[in-house]
A and B are shown apart, each in its own frame.
Chain A
Amino acid sequence: MRQIEVAQVTQAVKAAAIAANYEPGADLLAALARGAETEESPSGKEIFRQLLENARIAKEERIPMCQDCGLAVVFAEMGQDVHLVGGDFDQAINAGIRQGYGEGHLRKSLCHPLTRANTGDNTPAVIHTEIVPGDRLKLTVVPKGGGSENMSRLFMLKPADGLAGIKEKVVLTVEEAGPNPCPPIIVGVGIGGNFERAALLAKKSLLRELGQANPDPEVAAIERQLLAEVNDLGIGPQGLGGRITAMAVHVLMQPCHIASLPVAVNIQCHASRHQEVVL
């Protein structure tokens, strides 16, 4: 068993939360630069230029990319040969979020669902822990904005609906979202599993390097078809009209019940933020 102090977890989560909000990934920057080149609509081109400038200011002048510094989603892949010592794992993650959002001057965006009273420190994080082979602990911090999360949908389709039904729902979700989730977006799609797994697959698909195809050629083909159909909507950057409504569609798929065809669509705004650290 390899021992890891939970204090290390707190430090790692704190640093990742701050970095995610200030330092856009190379994959995102490349996609924005590509958009500035290829978008046909003049206003859409201008939006891509603004987003590149915004990313530069965030990194160089230390202002978060977006004022919505997100609800902190944390994916933990825990090696089965890891032994955590020195405290409670979830508490250690939340301590990292609390410190990162405090010291990093990030917005605290969590509140009581009914009274709407702010929790004051952006906790609790939404934590997904998976046990995997090995003796490492991988932590991925994903600050997720509320505007794009609000436009996400889950559909329990009939098996008879098939691929055509899935496509219809994905396109419908993007169409109804329109300008609201800050396009150019990334569309995460989870197909299969069950009610909660489909949503988790959709969220996880967003962790993939932007625009990298699913390794399964069958799923990659669905991603290409969906991207083309979504971009035919003409919503464009910020909804002002244009060719690039989505920069990518990512799909994850797994078997489901013979009675079901669950499909989740998780919309990610262009401020796609995730930071990974391996302990």
Chain B
Amino acid sequence: MAKTVKLTAPLTEQDVLQLNIGDTVLVSGVIYTARDAAHKRLVDLLAAGEPLPMDLEGQIMYYVGPSPAPPGRVIGAAGPTTSYRMDSYAPILIKLGLKAMIGKGKRGVEVIEAMKAHKAVYLGATGGAGALISQRIKAAEVIAFPELGPEAVHRLEVEDFPTMVINDCQGHDLYEHGVREYRRTTAR
């Protein structure tokens, strides 16, 4: 039976071990943004033996490139981007202590295996609900790679940021379960 869990980032191993696919997770605390170009930069830094702009231990990475903050707001629209484009980078970050990723869409086998091995989870946020989601972001600050514009790494303070567990630490996949229930075709 799916449950609702409130978690505050950074996360502990215990925080993620209790999660099952379909659970609602309301995230509070500090999370970091990174999408395609920022991931490449992070992995390049690691390859060069240089320090990252954040300590990854227990952190949550949010795959998003927000729109600019309109006057009087901390951020613009800020919904998730499609996660598979980060699949080649994610296992490297998971090994270094990343405990959760927030995005949308399917993950590759290599990411699911890394989540199982190092106890991490993949959380889905509603794609295309950028205006709605932005209301749960209380503060935003660019902390690295400002030249990347929307792809810069932001430090976000969030409150009850709504997500759902898509992949848990046991390797289950909510997308597969959900679709099986409603599928009426034998195509493919």
Interface residues of A (CB under 8 A from B): 40-41, 43, 47, 50-51, 53-55, 57-58, 61-69, 105-109, 111, 116, 118, 120, 145-147, 150, 168, 171-172, 175, 178-182, 229, 232-236, 238-243, 269-271
Contacts and interface: CB of A to CB of B under 8 A. Distances in A.
Interface string B69-80: 110010011110
A55 B77 CA distance: 12
Interface stretch (B3-11, B91-99, B170-178): B170-178
A62 B180 CA distance: 38
Contact of A105 (B70, B135, B178, B185): B70
A242 B178 contact: yes
Contact of A50 (B77, B132, B181): B132
A54 B149 contact: no
Contact of A54 (B69, B81, B129, B179): B129
B149 A120 contact: yes
Say which size band chain B's interface belongs to: 35 or more
Contacts of A53: 129, 132
Contacts of A270: 128
16 contacts: A43-B164, A54-B132, A64-B67, A64-B130, A68-B79, A105-B67, A108-B149, A109-B65, A118-B149, A145-B128, A182-B128, A232-B183, A234-B180, A234-B181, A241-B181, A269-B128
Interface in B132-188: 132, 134-135, 148-151, 164, 174-175, 177-185, 187-188
A25 B66 CA distance: 23
B77 A63 contact: yes
B64 interface: yes
Interface in B6-37: 36-37
Q: Which one of B67, B78, B174 has the highest number of Cβ atoms from chain A below 10 Å of its Cβ? A: B67
